[in-house]
A and B are shown apart, each in its own frame.
Chain A
Amino acid sequence: ILNVEQSPQSLHVQEGDSTNFTCSFPSSNFYALHWYRWETAKSPEALFVMTLNGDEKKKGRISATLNTKEGYSYLYIKGSQPEDSATYLCAYMDSNYQLIWGAGTKLIIKP
């Protein structure tokens, strides 16, 4: 059974602080790893698609790293702002192109 785990389930962070959270996935048959941000009352928005072991991607204050050998990806947010409050989803794609979604990490930024 393919399983994608995200931790923590929820996270409260003070405005201005940096934070990170984890997506764990099967290390076998890896093809790609997606990260999305899902704000309340909106639709999910793509952040990154990562395919290579050791890959690191950055978009503004948000960055992500990928370790396909051990099956994890970290998402980092530097200097959190209230607009970063959202649920962050990761999705693992295997070599059969099956996309498995994690349950998400809900991030709440406290002003």
Chain B
Amino acid sequence: GAGVSQSPSNKVTEKGKDVELRCDPISGHTALYWYRQSLGQGLEFLIYFQGNSAPDKSGLPSDRFSAERTGGSVSTLTIQRTQQEDSAVYLCASSSARISEQYFGPGTRLTVT
């Protein structure tokens, strides 16, 4: 069946511009996670959704980052006034329940010039 999809796969943007990253989870998965991997670093948790609500936003690095999820399905991660340090691969994952294994999408590679 269809896995987690993310778009765009690559995004190059100028410093100061806003970007939106999209995640389509596996159908029926109630839990959705956003992570990022900066160059040479490990997996960094950003935010978690259960349905449409985000009980855990603890990983968002600054108030320039926000995320929403609508209809218990698609999620968008928005980064306002992008900075060069925002350059990273942004990964989305979904799971059928909070305790269950997570299925990861292919990621969006964001480059801020």
Contacts and interface: CB of A to CB of B under 8 A. Distances in A.
Contacts, number: 39
A99 interface: yes
Contacts of A98: 56
A97 B45 CA distance: 14
Contact of A101 (B43, B48, B99, B104): B43
A93 interface: yes
B89 to A, nearest CB: 9
Interface of A is mostly: strand
A32 B48 CA distance: 17
Interface of B is mostly: loop
Most chain B CB within 10 A, of A34, A44, A93, is at: A44
Interface residues of B, number: 17
B98 A97 contact: yes
Q: Interface residue tally of chain A, by bracket?
A: 10 to 19
Interface in B74-106: 91, 93, 98-106
Interface in A49-80: 49, 51
A58 to B, nearest CB: 15
A89 interface: yes
Contacts of B45: 99, 101
A55 to B, nearest CB: 14
B101 A46 contact: yes
A31 B99 contact: yes
B42 A43 contact: no
B25 interface: no
A67 B20 CA distance: 42
Interface string A92-109: 010001110101100000
Contacts of A43: 91, 104-107
Interface of A: 31-32, 34, 36, 38, 43-46, 49, 51, 89, 93, 97-99, 101, 103-104
